Structure 1
């Protein structure tokens, strides 16, 4: 009787997995797959409570950032108010900006990729004085390449370049972009920022550096072909002259 029960139970199991017209459910029934998942799970178990702690810490950090944004939104709304609604001098604006900077502290990197936080940082750059603008840009300049590649933060990158108070900061932003311009120019969002920055760049030397960074090797080949050209003529080499020499590159 025991043997017959075992055979029946085995038969039921076989029919469940191999019955005609049915596909086996590998996620639930396949032993090797369950072992593989168990191996992954064991790695997590070996990590112990560290994984849970890190997850809870991330959640607490998000809550803190949301609280920071709530506080900042009050000053942000005041900065955007028209003078008829809220009479404020430049000093009042600067005090609001400074108060916001103090609230943010070292959490700029946690704000710049969020929709609300990104707009708040833009307002700080726009309405701050030279010292405040410099402080904000120093906090975010290392993230410039990532900023211009995001849907919302690309606007912050544009504002950062437009309102950069010193030539050194503008140069730093340009250098960051030129180092990866071949990838950025093909990116959906970054390409808009690269085009904007090129249009906003008044220094002819900086504009040529952007062009050279993009066409790189082609420019080197072109310079080698300039026989008898003086050093000044080579330095004045522009995109228009280059494309006249290399018309096949216009469509690239």
Structure 2
């Protein structure tokens, strides 16, 4: 596990949505720390509170009880919200929620312009962000004419152009094909490993979870499991009871372990499987 100081601290966080029938509790006494430079994956069944939790990280939602602090800044403090949102960039599941300009280039420039970056810096940030997500050739295109996957790449570029310290991805690969998801993962790995960008990554693709340093599993608004991917997937039975998929390689490893053919559980990659099999020689 990556060891580092806590940058985002969530303490006893609770939140409920108001409906005509009353209240629906989305988060229930959540406690979680996000460390400097880590890649934290958040998984859970539909309705577990993942997106609600993510929206608290940059004050899109405010706690009903408990606290969320970003580098000591309380999200409930109205005077701190602008500073928090400068540090924490957010990419939504639906890119249409973020695309507002008439061209891709203008859209990506919207964030840094509002942050007051000088024109030359904006141009550099926009070009770099579009290059990273593979959308440079579409810089003069109209966002509404792009495919869903292309729109999502533009939304990611818009977040990156603001040069954030933390990037929250709310199922941002959900509308991409496998190749597009692979490219995004490769980009995020570079940002995390080389630029030390802290990433909070919400996903329902279990094969993407293995790239994280740490995983938090939510169910019914509570954090039920935390640990490395290997530690979390070692509890495959508990995950499946929550209605979550488990990587096929993990299920195979569980069966082999039951038969005594390998010793370790929680295997998430082919390389780990090979290593475990070789240990029996």
Give the greater-gyration-radius structure (CA).
1
Q: Which has the higher contact order (CA 8 A, sep 6+)?
A: 2
TM-score (norm 1): 0.33
* Higher normalized helix content (fraction of residues): 1
* Higher normalized strand content (fraction of residues): 2
